[in-house]
Structure 1
Amino acid sequence: MAPVLSRTQWELFEGHLNEAAFLLLQWEHALLSPAFTLAGLAVGLEERLLAHVDALVLGGAPVAEALLRPGLEDADMAILKAAALALLSRGDETDELRVLDCFANSTEETRPGLRRALELRSSPRCMQLLKKLLESPEPGVQAAALEVLASLKADPGPTLGALLAHSVPEVQVAALKAVRVGSEPVDMRAIREAVESRHSSLRDEALVTAIIVGMDSAWSICRRLATDNPAENGIALLLLGLGGDDADLRWLLEKSEDLRVGGHAIWAQGFGGRIESAERCVTLLAHETLGKWAAEAFCAITGLRLEAHQVMAPPEATRDEAARHPRPEDALPLAVPSEVQQWWSEHRNRFRPGVRYFMGRPLTPSWLVEACELMPARRSHVLAQELALRSRGNILLPTLAFSDRRRAELQAAKEILERMPLSRPIQELTAVARYVPRRTPSDACASQPRSKQSSRVLTGRLTVTGLGMVSAIGDGVVTSCAASRAGMLRVTPLEEVSVWDSGDKRLEPTRGHHIPWVTEGFSGLGRLAALATQALLDLLEQARFDKECRYALYLSAPSDFYRLHQDERDGLSQRHALRRAEYRQRLLTTILAAVGLPVIPKVQVLHFGELGFIEALQDATRQLDTGAVDACIIGGVDSLVEPQVVDALDELGLLKTPENPVGVLPGEASAFVLVERGEVALRRGARPLAVLDAACMQAEPFHRLSNTPSQGRALARCAGEALSRGQDCGERIRLVIAALNGDAYRASDWGHALVRLRTDKLLNQAIEWYPAASFGEIGAATGPAGVCMAVRGFQRGYSPEGDALLWVSGDDGGRGSLLLSRP
């Protein structure tokens, strides 16, 4: 039975839901903003949003029941949307039915949020149920269901014709979008009537659909709408810019200074990419109303990136208007005309008449694919519209979807893109009969991230088959690593030790990452035993144990380095020896008695300090190689939030305080990994989660408090030795789990080591994760906690492709490292 979640853990899950709601709102706004690129969104807002959603998914049924399902009735639309997204991401049929039931009975206020969640995360099962809602008596539900199906490229089936002739414009608009993905023939008369409609959104969608399906008069109607009433037909102006001929370009240039339609005309020319449009934009930069539009279009054509000296502040009246009525274009910069004119005079000779340019380069299919990640997000939707028009509906990029789906569909469309004439007028393409492919509905669910499977031989390899952990941000390894990925923190006052704040001129409690629901009332050995027991129980909950299994238990306990030096200074160095003796005699015994393991470990070993985990791995490898045991449980436990340790850190000048911003924030945690040979794990039906390799140790001849600057020699040797043991490791390492903790001395050590390693062309492409950033300085638990972070990243698919290097550092001078890879 799963353990009961602590109150603090519930608070963290509530935090995940609130953060997901906020980030979802921010991400959706950013999709229409000129201030974000698609690539920037993917690694910024979207990555953080998906981390919180994943944490809610990993909370399982208890979180779904207590938080997510009630969230569907929340008055806050952001919470409702986030709760629906998380429920759909679980991939559970009951939850999908619950969301769809809410959708079917939604109001005008709640329906858009539920619709958006379904667009982002709908399984094939959801899409089949959405098709049934096309027969709903409520037009709003019909329209929303059609919108979802169209966004997922799911054919709505034979009901589309009737919906296209619906009396409600909202349903017709959605039906026109669905026509682009449907395979059933449709009545052109319905589209022709919609093009002539007085309803602007219906007319706009009909015009785009008419061109895609090849309606004979579509382009002439487009020209007529643009010329007869340009102020009411912005989409027609845009289409002339995307795919008009020279005459259309001349007409747009004439309209550029018309205050009623100039913004639309300039916007369209920015996509047309012609040098004539760039010239016209330069003349409009100083215009009070059109200057921003002109600067944006000019940059889109020429590739100019406005620097600080090329941008000026908007007039105060404009700022006030933007504050009262915010729009996406408010974020557009206002260029300094003279600076841009100077730039243009230096670069104009690179551009030729008759060539279509995109971000400063001639527009080709290959450059288009590359530039999709680099363009401002708000421009991507028009580009996707052009690809839909030119491909006759065969390329429908989901620009409002998450980046993994958008990138996958762009890659899938490469073959069509390579043959696409991007400079020919679209009118010429409407003469070509439309090809209607058989479409496979896209599965936008992706609720369970999957790591890539490899064919690596596991025989003789040391594999991880179980994890367990407790931290200040999680009752277990799943919740701890999910919260770490999402950037959640729980830094609280440690009331027992106070420090001086010269700014406020008063004493204040120190701060750290502690776990009161586990350690309240415990100190010393009892506190360590409570932490280790919780983490070990978490491992037992997840790992499959064979009662016939012979296994070893290794634990790394605190090094007591800081208290040792404090005791030595006070002439009480015998205390250190007494504490270690007590740990050796009682710690493992106490933990085993509390846990109640099904089998008594054949081998029980206690190590000390950050390097204890690496020592244990080395010894475990020998035990497994000789066949003395079948599996090994290896872990670490530490608590630096105990008053005596915090006091020692403060006295030694290592604690982060208002007076010392580069010190460490103490934490407490425990983590365990179950390791065994790959063939043994597979034989007993266990699933290898990762491969451990190349556990190495080195040491500096001095310690942290020796006043000797560290030059990273031992750490570089240690990491270099580990990397040399793996085949092509220098190329495969994409992630480093680094034991940086806020201490400038350790940062200097790693910085020097990194310079040495990169001189040998190692770790040039790796990103870094820091356990201390999430859990605080956790001493002897750093190594196993880092392994947990890496393995969970492998399992959930959010760590970079490739292998990982983990390194630990002890202030006593020891350095250790190991390699982790996917099985």
Structure 2
Amino acid sequence: MGAQAEHLTPAETSTQPALAPVLEEYLAGAQLLFEQRDGAVNLGDLRGRDLQLDACIDGLRIAGNNAWKLLESALAAADSGVVFVATVLALESKHTVRLKQILALAETDTTLQFGVRQAFSWVPEPITRPLLPHLMASGNTFYQGLGLHLYHQHHIHADTHLEWAITHAGTDIRDAGLTTAGELGATTLLPVCLQALQSEQHSTRFAAARAALLLGENTHSLSALQSLVTGNTPYQAKALTLLAVFLPLEAAQSFLTRLRGYTRNKRLLVRVAGDLGDPVNIPALLRLMADPELTRLAAYAVSCITGLDLIENNMDAAPPEDFAAGPNDEPEDENVESDPDEELPWPDRDKLVQWWEHNGSTFKPGTRYQMGRQINHRHCLDVLQFGSQAQRSIAALHLKKLDPAAPLFLTEAPAWRQQARLAQLRHS
């Protein structure tokens, strides 16, 4: 990638003693906040976390070489958070030697590669875009994967490179190319994506079906996704989410009925009913709330359709006294699984049933709803601005469905970039 920054002053041999504890605190804070990004509740929460994360990085950024000395030590036993911070600072300072050092460390460690990719997403496009020709021409699949990641994150069209990736012999590059083409809205590459449906690899078939679907093809892609679901593949849950959004509603309801014969996973069925958005499923969801294992998830599905906030409307309740989910302090208890619905409120089922009896007639069966309103372009933008992260990801798919040539809205991107994109979409 060249030696554009090798002339910079080398890192100092030691960090100033008085400064070291402060820099260590900044680094520890950045690591923690990086790990916690995935736990953001909504865009506002993500923005707050990202601002705190950037403030910690800024403390290291200002310290210059003193910070890099600390990072060099931390990289010896690195986790993805340390690698993220180090990569951000190396990219921002255009220090090629340091960047190469980090990439070499991460090349054979998928956990560290996550930190590198997140850093390439975090840093503004004008800094990373000049690296693209070097990454794609490197002959190194890790570097080439980073290049595809940049195309994806910054909505950069490069059909030649994407077609090369989609037809690549390596699964990782091929799947990344398919993902990028679909999410970018590269409609000219639809025929190549459809050809990839013939792959025997589940990952490639899923990536190809998803790409073709996002690009507006709704025959072969939907058929492939249904086969991935009924074949009980590792992509069952992801394929179901896409089917819930993109299948015509009548066909989706029919497939949901058939699905009961293929899986005993009631949680999966409840989640699909919420994603589907058809109020015709609400009576069944209310019945399922009688099962303590499904109560919170079924109530959440009802909320996704109706927009009803259980806490604001005083429809939450205390947990059942005899219900225990997740690990406890008993050494003899073999249950080590965490509670999957820990963040969801317990509903007052009787109040919800009563609310539906009074308000159900305002919802039209056979119509898709999200957060209480029928789905359209403007409402998708409202959900992207105010909804939960799970709701936002569904709204992003609906928005893509409305305009296959547009890029998919990336709900995990840095918050300020998401806010800028939202403003752009509202004024377009």
TM-score bin, normalised by smaller chain = 0.7 to 0.9
Q: Distance between the aligned counterparts of 2:217 and 2:259, measured in 1?
A: 29
- Aligned counterpart in structure 2 of residue 383 of structure 1, from 391, 395, 403: 395
- Aligned counterpart in structure 1 of residue 35 of structure 2, from 25, 43, 47: 25
Contact 1:304 1:359 in 2 (8 A): yes
Residue 249 of structure 1 and its aligned partner are, at CA, apart by 3.6
What are the residue-to-residue correspondences of 1:2-401 with 2, within 5 Å? 7-27=17-37, 29-31=38-40, 36-43=41-48, 45-59=49-63, 61-88=64-91, 91-94=92-95, 98-100=98-100, 102-103=102-103, 106-109=107-110, 110-156=112-158, 158-180=160-182, 181=184, 185-186=188-189, 188=191, 190-215=192-217, 217-222=219-224, 224-225=226-227, 228-229=230-231, 233-254=236-257, 259-307=263-311, 310-313=316-319, 317-320=324-327, 324-326=336-338, 329-401=341-413
What are the residue-to-residue correspondences of 1:651-662 with 2, within 5 Å? none
- Give the 3 Å change call, closer, same or farther, for CA 114–300 of structure 1 in structure 2: same
Could you give the per-residue CA deviations for residues 178-237 of structure 1, whole angstroms, max 9, x where no partner exists? 22337694472x423433444333222211211233447335524642674366533332
**Structure 1 SS opposite 2:385:** coil
Contact 1:134 1:145 in 2 (8 A): yes
Contact 1:285 1:294 in 2 (8 A): yes
- Give the 3 Å change call, closer, same or farther, for CA 239–358 of structure 1 in structure 2: same
Could you give the per-residue CA deviations for residues 763-789 of structure 1, whole angstroms, max 9, x where no partner exists? xxxxxxxxxxxxxxxxxxxxxxxxxxx
Could you give the per-residue CA deviations for residues 459-509 of structure 1, whole angstroms, max 9, x where no partner exists? xxxxxxxxxxxxxxxxxxxxxxxxxxxxxxxxxxxxxxxxxxxxxxxxxxx
Could you give the per-residue CA deviations for residues 78-129 of structure 1, whole angstroms, max 9, x where no partner exists? 22222323443xx3222x6632552256222422211111111144342332
> AA paired with 2:57?
V
**Structure 2 SS opposite 1:331:** coil
Residue 415 of structure 1 and its aligned partner are, at CA, apart by 5.3
Contact 1:267 1:293 in 2 (8 A): yes
What are the residue-to-residue correspondences of 1:730-749 with 2, within 5 Å? none
Contact 2:186 2:215 in 1 (8 A): no
Q: Distance between the aligned counterparts of 2:293 and 2:124, measured in 1?
A: 42
> AA paired with 2:94?
E
Count of matched residue positions in the alignment of Structure 1 and Structure 2: 402
Could you give the per-residue CA deviations for residues 691-714 of structure 1, whole angstroms, max 9, x where no partner exists? xxxxxxxxxxxxxxxxxxxxxxxx
Higher strand share: 1
**Structure 1 SS opposite 2:386:** coil
Q: Distance between the aligned counterparts of 2:291 and 2:53, measured in 1?
A: 39
- Give the 3 Å change call, closer, same or farther, for CA 63–339 of structure 1 in structure 2: farther
Q: Distance between the aligned counterparts of 1:63 and 1:299, measured in 2?
A: 50
Residue 22 of structure 1 and its aligned partner are, at CA, apart by 0.7
What are the residue-to-residue correspondences of 1:552-591 with 2, within 5 Å? none
- Give the 3 Å change call, closer, same or farther, for CA 114–220 of structure 1 in structure 2: closer
Higher helix share: 2
> AA paired with 1:374?
F
- Give the 3 Å change call, closer, same or farther, for CA 283–187 of structure 1 in structure 2: closer
Residue 348 of structure 1 and its aligned partner are, at CA, apart by 1.9
Residue 301 of structure 1 and its aligned partner are, at CA, apart by 0.8
Instruction: Detail structure 1 runs of 4+ shifted over 6 Å in the superposition.
Output: none
Give the TM-score, by structure 1 length.
0.44
Contact 2:145 2:173 in 1 (8 A): yes
Could you give the per-residue CA deviations for residues 116-163 of structure 1, whole angstroms, max 9, x where no partner exists? 111111443423324422344443443343223312222345232222
- Answer with 1 or 2: which has the greater Rg: 1
Residue 62 of structure 1 and its aligned partner are, at CA, apart by 3.2
> Which structure 1 segments of 5+ residues have no match?
417-823
